[in-house]
Structure 1
Amino acid sequence: MAYNDLSAQYQHLKKEIDAGIAAVIEHTQFISGPQVEELEQALCRYTGRCYCVTVSSGTAALLMALMALGIGPGDAVFVPDFTFFATSEAVSLLGAEPVFCDVLADTFNLDPESLRAQVRRAKKAGRLKPRAVIAVDLYGLPADYPAIEAVCREEGLILIEDAAQGFGGELAGRKACGFGKLSCTSFFPAKPLGCYGDGGAVFTDEEPLYRLLCSLRVHGKGADKYENIRLGLNARLDTLQAAVLLPKLAAFDAENETRNRAAALYSSLLAGSAFSPPGVPAGYRSSWAQYTVRAGSEEERAAARSRLEAAEIPTMVYYPVPLHLQKAYAGLGGKAGDCPVAERLCKTVFSLPMHGYLAPEAVRQVAAALLRR
């Protein structure tokens, strides 16, 4: 059994993907070819955003969003403690300081009350200037944006949505990538909408930010790439990747329906068991980048993963170490107990097979093996 069956997806979309790749090879516009702009327009239609700038990775998207806001030394950017390293890494690369906030145990997303407490603590200390919040749509579920937006308004902070895993999720009918002053996503192959390499995108509704992002994407270009009016990056999305993403985007809603049906079946089969299914609050819809459950303890997680491995069923742990305890951040003085919910989740969560072609029979097989004692 595959954890994320990209081969099944390719077989389903082979004709369209192969034709798209062949078209790029035929016209040879491997950089900034017509498929890139076509994809950007399609992504705007899907998310409801006014502007989209495709880039070379989700990490580049985060970095460019922060650069566009002028984030730098002396600034504090508030991030969830339970997420992939890139969220805080982009902050640190610009000389700013990530401030880690705890998360909610049921949704795994940023806890608005922890955010509020950390912002006020930073303001009281006075060492850093609070500037922005990066809220992550972990595992495909949008964060609690109504509450987070309220904190941002109260405290004068800019909101960035990190939808690296969230593309296709919804909150009250509003699509992921549609929140915040800027939003970012990733097209890493394992994401709900993934290419055949690295890729990402930044979204905004503000034309000046859009034009700034376009400049930052190509070495801070001005009228053309040989006029450089600011420092930027080489962060363009390859045309080949855009050609791969176009047919995948066309098939995305059907795949998302399959993921949601699989998730609902998992949750019904695991209800009342020793493994807590992920929470999806009323009005939310996840794109299920991962289907992640919680065991009662680290030992129970290890035993469960061993049972599944014996049944040739793959699992993953996202993430085994909270950001504040990563070695790269030892200099910030984080210690055990700073973010107790995130620390607990790191010891107990594990993810089960999930993708857009997962059959109900496979879900039942996974659940039966997991619950077998």
Structure 2
Amino acid sequence: MGTRRNFIGKAALAGTALASNPSLGITILNKSTPKNDIIGHGDYKYKVIRDWAKMSVAHNPLLNCHEMQMDSKGRLLMLGDHTANNILVFDKSGKMLDYWGTGYPGGHGLTLHDEGGEDMLYIVDCGYYLDRTGKNQAQAGQVFKTTIDGRLIFSLPHPYTIGVYKMDDAYRPTETAIGPNGDIYVADGYGSDYILHYNHKGEFIRKWGGHDNVDKNYDLINAHGVALDYRDKNNPVLVVTSRTANAFKFFTLDGKFIKTVNLPGAFVCRPVLDDGNIYSGVCWSETRDGRKWVPNTGFVTILNNQNKVVSNPGGEAPRYINGKLQKMYQAQPAIFNHGHDVFVDEDKNIYVCQWNAHYTPPIKLERV
């Protein structure tokens, strides 16, 4: 278990080091490839718009673009890990409207929730960050509930302080999801791989997942994302990422295992539910010679309401043989470095945030 945590930590830190050293000569994919790409498959094809974000990184510096949400005013909020401006606010044309936040050096997870007509943010700092000298550092992560403009409502306690973790259990959360009654679900995806369940006040209820369970269905390996699935309106469930296992796992709201959807070859990030589909950034994909964790192998994957992959924008077309999904690979020429999160707007356009993409802002995929 410790070895796995160390590997994930080293992979994340190594990626951050690459992003902070463009002199290493790595190709910046989204600047060097053709400018009028149409990507995707079947009914889900998109035009790639790389210059969607109208901003100057000299004035609003970026390290990694981690996640994006849209508020009730139609503004797109992007969370990154540069403390000059953790939150960047855009309109749908890409014009920057605002920026704020200097206290989330490991800014990673962003969830927006309507609470009685008021937008609330749940911001996750995963604990990995670059210090002022450019060195990689790690500390315990944190989860914050704030207003839409960043005023702190409360933060969740470290699991050790409330007797939920042992002293040597790592806590580096990556994502949150909010249940229909306001309950908070935290994915400890860079720490101990538990899903931590709290009520709307931040009081602990239960945890599940982790490693070495008697029932292996409950094992999570890099529990990077968690989301509410309302496709059955009378029976909402949780979708949890087990990224190193190339899978989404489904659970009841009280943590009972339902099923696993395998996504061979794809190291998926958080599931994003929209109009019956699941969308996800693929941060890495396996290569044809079997290598994993290879830099610049990302794309986006889309599952329909039957959890069947129907399109891989930036990846090769999904293939099923006798009903079984075959390994998925990045397409060439490469469009993405590392797809970390997506947001789907009301016109079904996709905005792709990328980790380790050499200071570049999100890319827009315009539905065609």
TM-score greater than 0.5 by the shorter chain: no
Higher helix share: 1
The structure showing larger relative contact order (alpha-carbon pairs under 8 Å, at least 6 residues apart) is 1
Q: TM-score under structure 1 normalisation?
A: 0.25
Higher strand share: 2
Q: TM-score under structure 2 normalisation?
A: 0.25
